Amino acid sequence: MSFLREIIRRPAGAFGFGWITLVVLSAIVSSFWTPQDPFTANPLDGWLRPSAAHLFGTDSIGRDIFSYVFAATRTTVIVAGLSGILASLVGIGLAALGSLTKRWVRESIAVLIDILIAFPAILIAMLLAAVFGGSLGVVIVAVGVGYGVNIARVSRGEIRRVRATDYVLAARAAGVGPGGVLLRHLLPNIAPVFVVQLSLSMATSILAEAGLSYLGYGAPANTASWGRLLNDLQLYIGVHPGSVVWPGLAITLTVLAFNLLGDAIREASDPTLRGRSGSRGRSGSRRRDGARRRSGMRDQGKTP
Amino acid sequence: MSLDVSGLTIEIDGTRVVDDLSFTVADGQRFGLIGESGSGKSLTILSLIGLAPEIATVTGSVRLDGREILGLSERQLARIRGSEIAMVFQDPLTALNPLRTIGRQIGEPLRLHGDVSKRQAMSAAVDLAGEVGLPDPAGIVALFPHQLSGGQRQRVGIAMALACRPSILLADEPTTALDVTTQAQILDLFQRLVDERGSSLVFVTHDLAVLARVATDVTVLSQGRAVERGTVSGILRSPQHAVTRGLVDAARATTWTGGAE
């Protein structure tokens, strides 16, 4: 819990955490209830301006844009969440294999990673879609593997760097076995880089889903998706520029929230940064005093 | 427990960094390896517990009470490291994991080698912290390495190494990165703890003045070869080899500059 407090103490972290929580809650609520059915067309109500009944207005065939954006959070959460998990597994798995195993295994993994990086996620998705048909699963696998290898490449270098440090040598000299070194020393110390990469890949997965849906390899027609809506509305951008703003804003804010949350997690997980950045800036908050008290105690501990 | 090193040879990319080195450390003996930088002393001490870097080819024999250490698997080595042989490292600023509290790091060997709970390891860590002279042991175990001074961190390193009461303690220039006053304190600590526990000590340094405070026997290394061996006092009195004479002169110079008496 104190870790969460560390994160939301920072404005960026508070926004990232707050927005993503909101998106996740919307995803849950929209599975049961939306203000109006996002798929029901009312051709007579096309292009209504925002009002109490239609917060974001309606589109060309009279669908309620707010309900659609609201319902699409579910797709976003599923795609970002699952592709994030898959990317972590692929990334950490390949990175661990690529830095901790025997030399010939390491070298082959390195080549494999380089080959996979050469395939854009979009291309992987198109290949998969050609075989299995377009679906969210295709998007998740393509983005998960596509960004997983990126994570693997960055994490592999980080694992190598941390593995060469004295504290890993000291831990091994204390009798920590290969598994313990990985879990207790390597992974926590590459976490800052990993978390930032992961938040980037989750943010990108939202964009990738939008792009793939546009190409017809992503969400099927009966699944609400910000990307699909954006592409529907973008046809009319010259006539009704206002309506494109909503899905665009949703995508932008969510991607931003992922990036900011990643940064905040990175800072919060570094004990040397803890209690610092919050104590700068505006005065008067109780949290700030708490942070100062804590660092005061620390200074006492420092003097012998 | 005795340590027998014979014919230890370390090659990196075909270059012999350590050449046919042999020495014995008897039970309770305080042994020093001294040499200029690049003489292969650090590599030697690392290879005693199988920690030489992967690119180094280590041949010869290192026996711990007759058991061969070279060629053991990483898992078998992990059982010996920290429990029977432990090591203190050169740079206390980098030898502690920045993300783990002092208490968890001191207690880690106990968790690994003894059947102790987290709570027991933590209270043992508090005791050890007190034993190595850290201020406010109960409070310091909750701190992170960056909140400690260099000398304090080296004390943590020593506490960690001694946690499981190893019978052989290896030290790779443990005072080189410290200022002179702290150096003296840490050396006193070494002496006291090694005496109290009766462990053997293998101490690597380039400074004969430092070695004279903690070790009784010494082997002088130069370019990977043992050029001279004997007792520290004997070598101080009549150094034979040119390298040894250089080290003795250097030690005299520092003692002269540092000593007011």
Residue among A155, A147, A143 nearest A182 (CA): A155
Residues B156-175 pLDDT 10s = 999 999 899 899 999 999 98
Number of A to B CB contacts under 8 A, please give it. Answer: 101
CA distance A9 to chain B (A): 20
Residue among A288, A259, A238, A292 nearest A60 (CA): A238
Residue among B87, B178, B31 nearest A176 (CA): B87
Residue among A64, A73, A101, A12 nearest A219 (CA): A73
Give the per-residue pLDDT at A277.
45
C-beta atoms of B144 and A272 within 8 A: yes
Output phi, psi for A158, to 5 deg. Answer: -65, -45
Give the per-residue pLDDT at A1.
62
The answer as to whether B56 is a domain residue is yes
* Residue A203, pLDDT above cutoff 90: no
Reduced to 3 states (helix: H, G, I; strand: E, B; else coil), residue B170 is strand
Residues A64-73 pLDDT 10s = 888 989 999 9
The answer as to whether B124 is a domain residue is no
Among B81, B135, B139, whose Cβ lies nearest the Cβ of A174?
Answer: B81
Residues A96-111 pLDDT 10s = 888 778 888 888 988 9
Among B87, B108, B164, whose Cβ lies nearest the Cβ of A176?
Answer: B108
The answer as to whether B179 is a domain residue is yes
Distance between CA atoms of residues B110 and B162, nearest Å: 10
Helix H or strand E encompassing A131: helix A121-132
Name the closest residue on chain A to residue B109, using Cα atoms: A174
Give the per-residue pLDDT at B46.
93
**DSSP secondary structure letter of residue B64:** E
ipTM exceeding the 0.90 mark:
no
Give the per-residue pLDDT at B256.
54
Give the per-residue pLDDT at A49.
81
Among B46, B86, B94, whose Cβ lies nearest the Cβ of A167?
Answer: B94
C-beta atoms of A177 and B75 within 8 A: yes
Residues composing chain A: 304
Give the per-residue pLDDT at A61.
81
For residue A216 the two structure tokens come to 């017809």
- Cross-strand pairs, B33: B204, B219
Residue among B50, B45, B79 nearest B171 (CA): B45
Distance between CA atoms of residues A274 and A266, nearest Å: 10
Distance between CA atoms of residues A12 and A199, nearest Å: 14
Give the per-residue pLDDT at A275.
57
Residues B47-73 pLDDT 10s = 999 999 888 999 999 999 889 999 899
Residue among A235, A6, A24, A211 nearest A124 (CA): A211
Residue A104 contacts B where some CB pair is shorter than 8 Å: no
Give the per-residue pLDDT at A283.
39
The residue ranking higher by pLDDT, A301 or A26, is A26
* Residue A186, pLDDT above cutoff 70: yes
Residues A143-182 pLDDT 10s = 899 889 989 989 988 888 998 899 999 999 999 988 888 8
C-beta atoms of A272 and B98 within 8 A: yes
Strand pairing category for B15-25 and B3-12: antiparallel
Residues B204-223 pLDDT 10s = 999 888 898 889 999 999 99
- Residue indicated by tokens 């009470």: B65
Residue among B33, B70, B29 nearest B51 (CA): B70
Output phi, psi for B87, to 5 deg. Answer: -140, 145
Distance between CA atoms of residues A291 and A5, nearest Å: 11
Q: Which residues, at least 6 apart from A33, have a Cβ–Cβ distance to it below 8 Å?
A: none
Q: What distance lies between CA B134 and its chain's CA centroid?
A: 20
- CATH (domain of B173): 3.40.50.300
Helix H or strand E encompassing B60: strand B56-64
The string of DSSP codes covering B211-238 is: HHHH-SEEEEEETTEEEEEEEHHHHHHS
* Residue A292, pLDDT above cutoff 80: no
Residues B95-113 pLDDT 10s = 999 999 999 999 999 999 9
Among B112, B140, B161, whose Cβ lies nearest the Cβ of A301?
Answer: B140
Give the per-residue pLDDT at B32.
93
Strand order in the sheet with B3-12: B15-25, B3-12, B56-64, B67-68
C-beta atoms of B86 and A174 within 8 A: yes
Distance between CA atoms of residues B179 and B182, nearest Å: 5
Among A174, A272, A303, whose Cβ lies nearest the Cβ of B108?
Answer: A174
Given a contact cutoff of 8 angstroms between Cβ atoms, the answer to whether B25 and B64 are in contact is no
Q: What share of chain A is helix, strand, coil (3-state, %, to 5)?
A: 75, 0, 25
State the CB neighbour count (10 A cutoff) for residue A287: 12
Q: Which residues, at least 6 apart from B209, have a Cβ–Cβ distance to it below 8 Å?
A: B251, B254, B255
The string of DSSP codes covering B92-133 is: TTTSS-TTS-HHHHHHHHHHHHS---HHHHHHHHHHHHHHTT
Sign of CA dihedral B219, B221, B227, B233: negative
CA distance B221 to chain A (A): 23
Among A173, A272, A303, whose Cβ lies nearest the Cβ of B146?
Answer: A272
The answer as to whether B140 is a domain residue is no
Average pLDDT over residues A267-276: 75
Residues A172-181 pLDDT 10s = 999 998 888 8
The amino acid at residue A268 is A
Distance between CA atoms of residues B42 and B35, nearest Å: 10
Strand pairing category for B168-172 and B200-205: parallel
For residue A197 the two structure tokens come to 């990469």
Q: Indicate the pTM of the whole model.
A: 0.79
**DSSP secondary structure letter of residue A182:** I
Average pLDDT over residues A74-100: 90
To the nearest 10°, the Cα dihedral for A140, A144, A145, A148? 180
* Half-sphere exposure in the Cβ direction for A63 (13 Å, CA): 21
Instruction: Tell me which residue range forms the domain holding B35.
Output: 3-94+168-258
* Residue A118, pLDDT above cutoff 90: no
CATH homologous superfamily of domain A2-273?
MetI-like (1.10.3720.10)
> B91: which chain A residues are within 8 Å (Cβ-Cβ)?
166
For residue A76 the two structure tokens come to 């976003």
Residues B110-139 pLDDT 10s = 999 988 899 999 999 999 999 898 999 999
Give the per-residue pLDDT at B37.
84
C-beta atoms of A166 and B95 within 8 A: yes
Q: For chain B, what is the domain count? A: 1
Give the per-residue pLDDT at B17.
92
CA distance A155 to chain B (A): 18
Among A165, A167, A173, whose Cβ lies nearest the Cβ of B87?
Answer: A173
Residue among B159, B157, B152, B141 nearest B100 (CA): B141
Average pLDDT over residues B252-260: 58
> A272: which chain B residues are within 8 Å (Cβ-Cβ)?
98, 144, 146
C-beta atoms of A271 and B144 within 8 A: yes
Output phi, psi for A217, to 5 deg. Answer: -105, 0
**Radius of gyration from C-alpha coordinates of chain A:** 23
* Residue B88, pLDDT above cutoff 50: yes
Name the closest residue on chain A to residue B146, using Cα atoms: A272
The answer as to whether B187 is a domain residue is yes
Residue A171 contacts B where some CB pair is shorter than 8 Å: yes
Please, what is the average pLDDT of chain A?
Answer: 82
Residue % of chain B over a pLDDT of 90: 55
* Residue B255, pLDDT above cutoff 70: no
Return the minimum-mean-pLDDT range out of A12-26, A120-134, A162-176, B1-15.
Answer: A120-134
For residue A8 the two structure tokens come to 């939301």
CA distance A295 to chain B (A): 10
The amino acid at residue A99 is S
Longest dimension (CA), chain B: 54
Name the closest residue on chain B to residue A185, using Cα atoms: B97
C-beta atoms of B99 and A304 within 8 A: no
